[in-house]
């Protein structure tokens, strides 16, 4: 089924409104035009005709009276009466011309023609009366006035009365027709307005019933759904317009909300389980710390005794077997040193990983060259197969730092180089001054680090993907980064598989130390253990 758009429906509604208003207006204009046409006959024809016919009646009657006064006037008044006759004759002529210029009905034109003919006859008789009177034949003039002139005037007056009556009747008929047209037009306009009102009410009912109310219901459903009330009824899913799409979308939202609530419950349960596991992990971590502390205390005492006895054994050895005794005593001391180093690394690593490095950071003015030399010698003693080449230069490398932490950092780097390189492979330690920094590079010819692992090699518990089977925790390089940043320095790595790696540590010279070390310490102290 083809989708129906609300936009199209509303467009049709507004188009209907427009056509309805336009049709109603045009219909009203047509009715008014019809009424104007009917009333125009009254206004433009019958009212002026009636007025002019009335003037003709007045002028003709005055004309007849002026004729009588002229015949009965004395000699000194006769001139005035004649001028009055002439003036009234001109008025009658003007009224006739004005009336003839109007639009007339055939019947009215016919009657007016008879009046005009009779009036012309009367004027001809009047001229004869005036001629007789002016020639002194007064008795003949008066006799002609009373007989033939009277008959001609009565004929003209009767025909004018017929024209007057016809105009009055026609004017009344036209007025009645205009009144009927007005009432008929008003009725039709009111009927059209009533039909338009019914149509508008129907359209408004449709809009409210099928558009407005469903939208309000959907809005209420969305508001309740936002308040986690999923017990809502969604209607209109079967509609093929935007409201149907919104209803179906609201159904999807409700299903997602229900699923989300179930997921939240599941996550809450998992969070509770994780809290229990975290508590257990913290307990195990505390046990590990207790073990490290115990090992530090309990192992160091016997190791110190063993180392002391080995020294005495080496000093008291005499005779042919002294060389063998001294050699064995040296091996014992190396084993003790190796175990002591492992314990120190374990303790220092635990402190750093737990985020307590700032508590054990005690910077002093030291020579980094001495630290590097000591680290190289110890690893050389521990690993007999080690091939460590030092290029530390002849000048001191002054630095403000913690000797134990620096020892631990370079020990981790060299230990990794030995661990991931073949026995006897050369390990190069190069130290030099670069401006206001000391750069220490540790280069090996081992297995290297895959390119994809380089970006995360200093992350906690992260190891290269190619070191499976080799013992390690993924904490060593993480501690290297912590110690370098704690001293206001940095550490970088360049590596390629099967070609080796080069770790470069850059630390500030003591005369160039600024506030970076303090900033690093503040950052480290503010961080949670899990963020390091």
DSSP for 427-456, written as a single string: EEEEEEEETTEEEEEEE--SS---GGGGGG
In this predicted structure, the answer to whether residue 509 has a pLDDT above a threshold of 60 is: yes
Question: Is the distance from CB of 225 to CB of 255 less than 8 angstroms?
Answer: no
The count of domains in the chain is 3
Same domain? For 482 and 412 the reply is yes
The tens digit of pLDDT for each residue in 423-455 reads 888 999 999 999 899 999 999 999 999 998 888
Confidence band of 529 (pLDDT split at 50, 70, 90): very low
Report d(CA 525, CA 529) in Å as an integer: 9
What's the pLDDT at 492? 94
CA-CA-CA-CA torsion for 286, 289, 294, 299, nearest 10 degrees?
150
Of the two residues 353 and 369, the one the predictor is more confident about is 369
**Does residue 202 sit within a domain?**
no
**Does residue 469 sit within a domain?**
yes
**Listed residues 132, 155, 190: the one ending a domain:** 190
Summarize the confidence of residues 201-212 as an average pLDDT. 81
Same domain? For 73 and 153 the reply is yes
**Listed residues 354, 370, 387: the one ending a domain:** 354
Confidence band of 507 (pLDDT split at 50, 70, 90): very high
What's the pLDDT at 47? 73
What's the pLDDT at 437? 93
Give residue 81's domain range: 25-190
- Of 25-29, 144-148, 413-417, 437-441, least confident by mean pLDDT is 25-29
- Of 30-44, 368-382, 465-479, least confident by mean pLDDT is 30-44
The percentage of the chain sitting over the pLDDT mark of 90, rounded to a whole number, equals 12
Summarize the confidence of residues 380-388 as an average pLDDT. 79
Alpha helices for 364-515 (secondary structure H): 368-382, 403-419, 476-486
In this predicted structure, the answer to whether residue 519 has a pLDDT above a threshold of 50 is: no
Highest mean pLDDT among 87-96, 157-166, 318-327, 485-494: 485-494
Same domain? For 293 and 150 the reply is no
What's the pLDDT at 123? 86
**Does residue 247 sit within a domain?**
no
**Does residue 16 sit within a domain?**
no
Question: What does the mean pLDDT of the chain come to?
Answer: 78
The tens digit of pLDDT for each residue in 5-36 reads 667 777 777 777 778 788 777 777 776 777 66
The answer to whether the Cα torsion of 447, 453, 456, 461 is positive or negative is negative
What's the pLDDT at 272? 83
CA separation, residue 166 to residues 7, 41, 116, 171, 230 (Å): 64, 15, 16, 8, 88
What's the pLDDT at 322? 66
- Report the CATH number that the domain containing residue 125 is assigned in CATH: 1.20.120.30
What's the pLDDT at 317? 60
Confidence band of 258 (pLDDT split at 50, 70, 90): confident
Question: Is the distance from CB of 317 to CB of 494 less than 8 angstroms?
Answer: no
What's the pLDDT at 229? 77
What's the pLDDT at 372? 92
In this predicted structure, the answer to whether residue 261 has a pLDDT above a threshold of 70 is: yes
What's the pLDDT at 429? 94
Same domain? For 41 and 121 the reply is yes
Same domain? For 180 and 288 the reply is no
**Does residue 220 sit within a domain?**
no
What's the pLDDT at 220? 83
**Does residue 402 sit within a domain?**
yes
Report d(CA 351, CA 288) in Å as an integer: 12
Report d(CA 130, CA 251) in Å as an integer: 113
The percentage of the chain sitting over the pLDDT mark of 70, rounded to a whole number, equals 76
Confidence band of 78 (pLDDT split at 50, 70, 90): low
Report d(CA 386, CA 390) in Å as an integer: 12
What's the pLDDT at 257? 77
**Does residue 348 sit within a domain?**
yes
Summarize the confidence of residues 121-129 as an average pLDDT. 87
Helix (H) or strand (E) holding 1: none
Same domain? For 63 and 91 the reply is yes
What's the pLDDT at 241? 74
Summarize the confidence of residues 516-527 as an average pLDDT. 40
Summarize the confidence of residues 267-278 as an average pLDDT. 82
310 Cα distance to chain centroid = 82
Same domain? For 361 and 330 the reply is no
Summarize the confidence of residues 183-210 as an average pLDDT. 81
The three-state secondary structure class of 398 is strand
- Of 173-182, 329-338, 508-517, least confident by mean pLDDT is 508-517
The three-state secondary structure class of 491 is strand
- Report the CATH number that the domain containing residue 494 is assigned in CATH: 3.30.565.10
Same domain? For 461 and 438 the reply is yes
The tens digit of pLDDT for each residue in 62-77 reads 888 888 887 776 654 5
Summarize the confidence of residues 362-387 as an average pLDDT. 86
For 109, the token pair is: 């034109």
Question: Is the distance from CB of 509 to CB of 433 less than 8 angstroms?
Answer: yes
Same domain? For 303 and 420 the reply is no
**Residue 144 CB partners (closer than 8 Å, separation 6+):** 125, 128, 129, 132
Same domain? For 311 and 360 the reply is no
pTM: 0.41
What's the pLDDT at 438? 94
- Report the CATH number that the domain containing residue 311 is assigned in CATH: 1.10.287
Same domain? For 375 and 417 the reply is yes
In this predicted structure, the answer to whether residue 456 has a pLDDT above a threshold of 60 is: yes
Of the two residues 327 and 374, the one the predictor is more confident about is 374
**Listed residues 190, 205, 224: the one ending a domain:** 190
The tens digit of pLDDT for each residue in 240-257 reads 777 777 888 878 877 887
Same domain? For 339 and 437 the reply is no
**Does residue 237 sit within a domain?**
no
């Amino acid at each position: 089924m083809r989708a129906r758009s609300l936009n199209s429906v509303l467009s049709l509604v507004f188009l209907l409104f427009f056509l309805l208003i336009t049709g109603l207006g045009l219909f009203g204009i047509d009715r008014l035009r019809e009424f104007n046409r009917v009333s125009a006959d009254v206004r433009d024809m019958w009212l002026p005709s009636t007025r002019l016919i009335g003037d003709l009646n007045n002028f003709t009657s005055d004309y007849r009276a002026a004729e009588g006064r002229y015949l009965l006037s004395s000699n000194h008044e006769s001139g005035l009466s004649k001028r009055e006759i002439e003036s009234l004759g001109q008025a009658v002529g003007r009224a006739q011309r004005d009336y003839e210029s109007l639009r007339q009905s055939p019947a009215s034109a016919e009657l007016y023609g008879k009046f005009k003919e009779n009036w012309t006859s009367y004027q001809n008789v009047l001229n004869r009366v005036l001629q007789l009177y002016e020639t002194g034949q007064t008795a003949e003039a008066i006799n002609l006035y009373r007989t033939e002139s009277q008959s001609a005037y009565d004929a003209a007056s009767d025909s004018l009365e017929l024209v007057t009556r016809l105009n009055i009747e026609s004017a009344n008929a036209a007025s009645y027709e205009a009144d009927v047209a007005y009432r008929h037009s008003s009725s039709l306009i009111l009927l059209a307005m009533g039909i338009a009102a019914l149509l508008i009410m129907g359209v408004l009912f449709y809009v409210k019933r099928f558009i407005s109310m469903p939208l309000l219901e959907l809005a209420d459903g969305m508001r309740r759904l936002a308040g986690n009330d999923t017990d809502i009824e969604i209607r209109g899913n079967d509609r093929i317009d935007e409201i149907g799409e919104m209803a179906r979308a609201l159904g999807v939202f409700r299903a997602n909300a229900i699923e989300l609530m179930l997921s939240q419950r599941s996550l809450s349960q998992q969070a509770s389980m994780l809290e229990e596991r975290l508590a257990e992990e913290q307990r195990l971590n505390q046990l590990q710390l207790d073990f490290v502390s115990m090992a530090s205390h309990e192992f160091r005492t016997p190791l110190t005794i063993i180392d002391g006895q080995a020294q005495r054994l080496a000093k008291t050895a005499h005779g042919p077997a002294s060389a063998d005794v001294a050699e064995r005593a040296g091996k014992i001391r190396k084993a003790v040193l190796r175990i002591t180093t492992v314990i120190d690394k374990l303790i220092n690593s635990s402190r750093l990983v737990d985020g307590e490095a700032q508590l054990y950071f005690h910077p002093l003015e030291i020579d980094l060259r001495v630290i590097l030399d000591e680290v190289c010698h110890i690893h050389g003693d521990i690993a007999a197969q080690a091939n460590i080449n030092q290029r530390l230069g002849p000048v001191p490398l002054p630095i403000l730092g913690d000797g134990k932490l620096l020892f631990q950092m370079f020990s981790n780097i060299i230990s990794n180089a030995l661990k991931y390189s073949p026995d006897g492979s050369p390990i190069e330690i190069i130290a030099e001054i670069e401006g206001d920094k000391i750069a220490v590079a540790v280069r090996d010819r081992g297995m290297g680090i895959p390119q994809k692992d380089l970006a995360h090699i200093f992350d906690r518990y992260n190891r290269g993907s190619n070191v499976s089977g080799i013992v390690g925790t993924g904490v060593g390089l993480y501690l290297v980064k912590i110690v370098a940043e704690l001293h206001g320095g940095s550490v970088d790595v360049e590596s390629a598989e099967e070609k080796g790696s080069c770790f470069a540590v850059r630390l500030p010279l003591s005369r160039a130390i600024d506030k970076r070390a303090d900033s690093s310490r503040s950052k480290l102290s503010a961080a949670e253990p899990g963020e390091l």
